Structure formats: C-alpha cells, structure tokens
Amino acid sequence: MRIAGLSEASGVSISTLKYYLREGLLHPGDARAVNQAEYGEGHVRRVRLIRALLELGKLQLADIRRVLAAVDDDGVAIHDAFGVAQDAMVPARDRGSPEYGRAFVAVEEFVRRHGMRVRQDAQVRGMLADALVAMWSGGWDLDLRTFDASMPRILAEAGQELEGVPDDDRAVQMEVTVIGTIAYEVA
Amino acid sequence: MRIAGLSEASGVSISTLKYYLREGLLHPGDARAVNQAEYGEGHVRRVRLIRALLELGKLQLADIRRVLAAVDDDGVAIHDAFGVAQDAMVPARDRGSPEYGRAFVAVEEFVRRHGMRVRQDAQVRGMLADALVAMWSGGWDLDLRTFDASMPRILAEAGQELEGVPDDDRAVQMEVTVIGTIAYEVA
DNA sequence: CTGAATGGATAGCTTGACTATCCATAATAG
DNA sequence: CTATTATGGATAGTCAAGCTATCCATTCAG
C-alpha cells in the first residue's frame, strides 16, 4: 500500500498524512526508493488511533504525540497505557486556590477508601479535583461519598472489560487499550 | 463594581472581558454614563460559568453561546438545561458508516431498556454511538448490556443529585445545573 | 485640576491543524 | 518506450479560535 492507499483506507487526506509523517506521529513507510514507500496495516491502525484521540478524545496533537510515544515505548507496560491516555485528556487549570487543596484531599481519601491504585502524580487526581472545585463554586455541594456505594461494582466492571483486550502483539494491545480508555471515558 | 473589579473577581483580564462583551457572552453592565457601567454578582457568576465551560468542558465559545442563550431564555425549563449542556459537549463526527447505524440502534435499545427519557434528537445518543464505533474499530467488542446491571443505581443517584439544586432565582438554578452537568460529566 | 480608568471601536497576535504548491524521481498505462 | 500520473520531501500559505493591544473621547477620583 502506498500513500494513496493509506489515505483511502483511513479516510484522511494525503496532505494530512504527510503532515503527520512530518510531525513524527506516523512512522515512515518502508522505503523502496527515494520517492516510494510501502505502508501496512499498522499504519492504518495508527492513523485511526490518531483520529479517534483527536475527534473523540479532543486531544491536541502535542498530547497525542506523548500518548503515541508511550504506545511505541517497549518500556511502558500495557497496564500503564490507561494512565497515559487519561493524563493526556486532562485540561490544564488553575491549581493554586484553597478550594483546590480541599478538593484534592477529598480525592485522596476517595482513592484510599476504594483501594484504587492511582499513581501519586496521575493527572486524573487533579482532574477530579478540578471538577469538584467547579461544582463547589457553582454552589453544588457534591460529596464524593455519594459515589461510594456504586464504586465496587464500577471497579469490577472495569476489570472485566480489561479481560476483553485481545492478545495479539503488543502494538495492537496498546492501541486497543488507549482507544478503549478514551472511548470508555466518553461513554 | 466596574470592569476592573469584575476582572479582579473573576480572574479574567479586562481585554478578555471586553471581548466577551463584544461577543455577547456577557451582558453589558448597568450603564451610568457613556463610558461608565456597573457590574454585579451575576456578571461574576457568568464569567466563571464561561470559564468552566471553556476549560473544564472544553467547549468552544460558539457552543457556549448556545448554552448561555438557553440559560437566559425563560422559555427553557430548568429540567432541559442538562440536555443543552450535554449537547454542546458532543464533538462532531462522521455519521455515515454502517457501523454507526448499528451503534445507534444499540443505543436506542439501551435507552429503551432503562426507560430513560432522552430526546429523540439529543446529541448524546450520537455521542454514545460514536464511542461505540471507536471502540469497535479498535477491536474492543463492547456491548452496552455490560452497563445494564449498574444503570438503575446510577440513575437513582443522578436523580438524588438533582434534588440538591438550590432554589434561588432561575438564573442561579440554570447556572448551577449547567456547571453541574459539565463537572459531573468530567467527574 | 490632573492623572488614571472606562467603554467602544479597530487592528493585530498566537496557536493549532491542516492545505497547497513545487520539484525531482519513479511507477505505470498505452 | 514514452506520456501521464503518483510519490516523497520541502516550504509556504490558509483558516479559525481566542484572545491582546492600541487609540480615543469621556469621566471619575484624589
């Protein structure tokens, strides 16, 4: 498959594909000559992954680049792909206020209560705290305890979903995990 | 409070406030003279709402404008504020594929199974369908039935949260509802 | 009375995500 | 084997979103 085929298969224009190649989001094809390269199924999957992260996850290309780097890095365990994808979804917000501190503590207690394994530096902590601050400032006095009752069930379901990841090669697993994280988040 | 005070109280620069005024996102202050206007608490809340929708909800100003129009429209019931906020969060995606049709049907059945009152034209239907398509194309064979077991509980909780909306004036209720919808979505 | 602030108008800036054009080379249809 | 089309690589241009800066005639505050 050459670039026209890749464009056809992925629904993305050749110009855009060249752009992704330039930006290093898409690996160069297998060069057969100075102006001829061959692309494979992996490239199609990669492009679809980029588009899903972009359109569904509303991630910026800069964040997508980091996610893809993790996908390509053999040092990153499949298990950590969730964290990477989630971190990239987090919008940057002001984290200096005293409310934020209060919210962060609430999140920490919540994580501890449910014995969740969430990295200490995971951005999702901040994201949840951000949401709490926004709700408080809007006069909505949400307590995370509200979720307590349903968390065990939710966690169990998430675990089950993980079982469903197909055991092809690592690249496919990483992609499935990342796209699943984003899509699940949206769902 | 004049514009400097509003800027101070909301943490948004005067230039940006003027921009929001120009764009009609922020109501003009109470004019005292040709170059003098008075802003109140409502303006501060409005600015905070805009920022929350922008940063937390990642909405575009064009979408925010629609949400605010609904907030200001006395013809829109508080109950519908959820739908408006959710609709604005939905990213536009390609909806022509056969997979999308299949996903949409799955969503419809899901909504019916749980007796949810979701407008026929609500964008969230499409959004859920989009997420399904993305997961399927990623090789993740999610069935919405997976959620069936926990839906009753989730719905009950959502209903309870709604009770918590304070009964101040309509404007405040709308704002709380909108910001709550977005923040809850994120959380 | 004078310097800072205000509302209003207009123009400019920055970032992100492409899109278009050129060119030398390579594949391919006739 | 030639004429057309496609390709990779480089460079420049486009477009929208979301501000930011400047100017000006007024007005307020010390």
Per-residue pLDDT of A129-181, as tens digits, reads 887 877 776 656 677 787 777 677 777 766 766 666 666 677 777 777 777 67
**Does residue B176 surpass a pLDDT of 90?**
no
Proportion of chain B above pLDDT 70, given as a percent: 83
Cα(A176)–Cα(A170) distance, integer angstroms:
10
Which value, in Å, is the radius of gyration of the alpha carbons in chain A? Answer: 20
> What confidence tier does B164 reach under pLDDT thresholds 50, 70, 90?
low
The tokens describing B84, both together, are 């408006």
Residue A150 to residue B153, Cβ atoms within 8 A: yes
Q: Which residue has the higher pLDDT, A156 or B140?
A: A156
SS3 category, B25 = coil
Give the pLDDT of residue B140: 63
The tokens describing B20, both together, are 């929001």
Give the pLDDT of residue B184: 67
Question: A84-121 b/e with 16+ CB inside 10 Å = b?
Answer: bbbbbbbeebeeeeeebeebbebbeebbeeeeeebeee
Evaluate whether A179 touches B140 at the Cβ level (below 8 Å).
Answer: yes
Per DSSP, chain B holds a count of helices (H) and strands (E) of: 10, 2
Residues of B within 8 A of A131 (CB-CB) are 56, 183-184, 186-187
Q: Which residue has the higher pLDDT, A38 or A138?
A: A38
Evaluate whether A133 touches A105 at the Cβ level (below 8 Å).
Answer: no
**Does residue A60 surpass a pLDDT of 80?**
yes
Give the pLDDT of residue B185: 64
Give the pLDDT of residue B187: 61
Residue of A128, A134, A166 lying closest to B139 (CB–CB): A166
Residue A52 to residue B134, Cβ atoms within 8 A: yes
Specify which of A172-176, B72-76, B81-85, B135-139 reaches the highest per-range mean pLDDT.
Answer: B72-76
Q: Which nucleotide is the nearest neighbour of B54, by CA and C1'?
A: D18
> What confidence tier does A6 reach under pLDDT thresholds 50, 70, 90?
very high
The tokens describing B174, both together, are 């709308």
Spacing of B3 CA from D27 C1' in Å: 14
Residues of A within 8 A of B52 (CB-CB) are 134, 137-138
CA dihedral angle for residue B76, residue B130, residue B145, residue A113, rounded to 10 degrees: -80
Give the pLDDT of residue B37: 94
Question: B141-161 b/e with 16+ CB inside 10 Å = b?
Answer: ebebeebeeeeeeeeeeeeee
> What confidence tier does B145 reach under pLDDT thresholds 50, 70, 90?
confident
Residue A161 to residue B182, Cβ atoms within 8 A: no
Give the pLDDT of residue A88: 76
Q: A80-132 pLDDT, tens per residue?
A: 777 777 777 766 666 777 888 888 898 899 889 988 888 887 777 887 888 78
Which bases of strand C sit closer than 7 A to a protein CB? 5-10, 16-21, 24-27
Residue type, A31: A
Distances (CA, A) of A16 to A19, A25, A169, B96: 5, 11, 27, 21
Nearest Cα residue to A164 out of B173, B15, B62, B135: B135
Give the pLDDT of residue A178: 73
Mean pLDDT over B76-99 rounds to 74
Spacing of B40 CA from D25 C1' in Å: 26
Q: Which of A144, A179, A181, A185 to mutate to test the interface with B (most CBs of B within 10 A)?
A: A179
Mean pLDDT over A29-53 rounds to 91
Mean pLDDT over B112-129 rounds to 81
